[in-house]
Amino acid sequence: MKQSSRCQNLGRCLVLVILLSSSAILCAQNDNLAPKPPMGWNSWYQNYCQVSDALIRAQADAMVKNGMKALGYEYVNIDDCWEGQRDAQGVIHGDKNFPDMKGLADYIHSKGLKFGLYSSPGPLTCGRREGSYGHEELDAKTYAAWGVDFLKYDWCSASKVYKPEEMQAAYKKMGDALKSTGRPILYSLCQYGLERVWTWGPSVGANMWRTAGDLDYTYDRVSLVGFQQEGLQSFAGPGHWNDPDMLLVGLKKLTDDENRTQMSLWSLLAAPLIASADLTTVSPASLAIMTNPEIIAVDQDAAGIQGHRVSEEGPLDVWVKPLADGSKAVGLFNRGHGPNPVTVDFKKIGINNSAAVRDLWAEKDLGTFKDSFTVTVPKYGVVMVRIK
């Protein structure tokens, strides 16, 4: 009896070890999905519900042709309105504009890119298409079979079936379902910063989570959302990122200075860089902003540190992001209605005496400066430098 008990106990221990090991593998797999802030494209702000197989393929082609893929943009994500009906077995299918989801995924993969989709924990998506409520495991298996690499999961109608305190459980349900497929699928939460998501996002399997509501095509909204990220830096790092929403660059709503402000601030914030403009027609100026290699390098820096504000004087902001090589990326921002001089005090960013300064947008060295660096910044603009 004693020997039998030992064997039974040993068996239980082995099962427990296997379960724990499997759980650790799944967690590690999830953490490894986004060692750097994800980069890619999403259909929403340009196309809303006017999406199709042909449009998505064209964006993938453009991403390769225009050099974005070579610089790290890799996800091609369909947002809302791809969903058709469920069949008798409950399996979701694409609508008439997406007759072959696996074929589309295969095409994107053939370009060396990754494929993303969208759903909701509620019965309906924001576009009133089929959500995943009650079908989480089946949808996750379907996505995996199609070859999905990224899922954006939008709260939308979930508020009609879940209480606020049930949000974590609702998101964990899909997070667990995605992990159980065995396919690495990056998990992006879209819940507008509700319930202090940054404190629990990783625990439900998320790799990124929205920290605010949607952007609305204006500089004021970009500025409000971007600069209010201060204080969230301790919640971001390799595998899990704060997401202040997509890039508006190229949508012809902001000036070039305003676009550079968003691109600079998002890079300092180690935010996901998800473009939303039509990549087949984007202007050369906007494309240059999205593909500046030195700005992208700040966002994708190996240390994975989210930057923070070091000084604020009325409409003038200075933000710093420590980089892996010991240098500092610094954004000097002017939210004022006219040009203004902005100064970074070297002591405030941990540098004593003199330092070399490089202008990242101009891609040129500016020389060595002692104690501080001052530059005139245009209205709603930025000067982005690397200080070492």
Last residue of a domain, one of 299, 322, 354: 299
Q: Which residues contact 109 (CB under 8 A, 6 or more apart)?
A: 115, 147
12 pLDDT exceeds 60? Answer: no
Indicate if 187 and 327 belong to the same structural domain.
no
Q: Give the model confidence (pLDDT) of 13-60 as tens digits.
A: 433 333 333 333 334 445 589 999 999 999 999 999 999 999 999 999
Confirm whether 2 is domain-assigned: no
Indicate if 292 and 205 belong to the same structural domain.
yes
Indicate if 354 and 232 belong to the same structural domain.
no
Q: Which residues contact 244 (CB under 8 A, 6 or more apart)?
A: 210, 211, 212, 225, 226, 229, 266, 269, 271
CA distance 332 to 264: 10
Note the pLDDT of residue 31.
Answer: 59
369 pLDDT exceeds 90? Answer: yes
13-17, 120-124, 200-204: least confident range:
13-17
- Placement of tokens 């000036």 in the chain: 255
CA distance 11 to 222: 57
Average pLDDT value over all residues in the chain:
93
Indicate if 282 and 376 belong to the same structural domain.
no
Measuring CA to CA, how many Å separate 359 from each of 2, 344, 366? 74, 14, 7
Active site residue 214: yes
Choice among 79, 80, 149, 154 that is catalytic: 154
Confirm whether 44 is domain-assigned: yes
Indicate if 77 and 147 belong to the same structural domain.
yes
Confirm whether 228 is domain-assigned: yes
- Placement of tokens 């969903």 in the chain: 83
Q: Give the model confidence (pLDDT) of 66-76 as tens digits.
A: 999 999 999 99
Residue 322 tokens read as 């420590």
For the chain, the distance separating the N- and C-terminal CA atoms, rounded to the nearest angstrom, is 71
286 pLDDT exceeds 80? Answer: yes
Mean pLDDT throughout 162-180?
A: 98
Choice among 214, 256, 257, 359 that is catalytic: 214
Mean pLDDT throughout 209-224?
A: 97
What are the DSSP calls for 88-113, one per residue?
TT--EEE-TT-S-HHHHHHHHHHTT-
Q: Give the model confidence (pLDDT) of 222-271 as tens digits.
A: 999 999 999 999 999 999 999 999 999 999 999 999 999 999 999 999 99
Last residue of a domain, one of 259, 279, 299: 299
State how many domains the chain has. 2
CA distance 243 to 229: 9
Q: Give the model confidence (pLDDT) of 174-193 as tens digits.
A: 999 999 999 999 999 999 99
Contact in structure between 270 and 238 (CB atoms under 8 Å): no
Active site residue 256: no
Q: What is the pTM of this model?
A: 0.92
Q: What is the CATH number of the domain that holds 329?
A: 2.60.40.1180
**Rounded (5°) CA angle 249-67-319:** 45
CA distance 172 to 34: 18
Mean pLDDT throughout 332-337?
A: 98
Confirm whether 8 is domain-assigned: no
Contact in structure between 158 and 122 (CB atoms under 8 Å): yes
Indicate if 122 and 263 belong to the same structural domain.
yes
386 pLDDT exceeds 70? Answer: yes
Confirm whether 14 is domain-assigned: no
Confirm whether 3 is domain-assigned: no
Query: Could you tell me the residue range of the domain that residue 193 belongs to?
Result: 33-299
Last residue of a domain, one of 243, 270, 299: 299
Give strand pairing partners of 340.
377
Note the pLDDT of residue 370.
Answer: 98
Indicate if 229 and 84 belong to the same structural domain.
yes
Give strand pairing partners of 153.
119, 189
Which is it for the CA torsion 136, 137, 140, 142, positive or negative?
negative
Indicate if 267 and 325 belong to the same structural domain.
no
Indicate if 294 and 358 belong to the same structural domain.
no
6 pLDDT exceeds 80? Answer: no
Indicate if 99 and 195 belong to the same structural domain.
yes
Q: What percent of the chain is predicted at pLDDT more than 70?
A: 92
Mean pLDDT throughout 185-204?
A: 98
Q: What is the CATH number of the domain that holds 101?
A: 3.20.20.70
Reduce the DSSP state of residue 179 to 3 states and report it: helix
Indicate if 318 and 209 belong to the same structural domain.
no
Note the pLDDT of residue 2.
Answer: 40
Mean pLDDT throughout 360-369?
A: 98
Note the pLDDT of residue 305.
Answer: 98
Confirm whether 18 is domain-assigned: no
Confirm whether 208 is domain-assigned: yes
3 pLDDT exceeds 70? Answer: no
Indicate if 137 and 61 belong to the same structural domain.
yes
Q: How many residues does the chain have?
A: 388
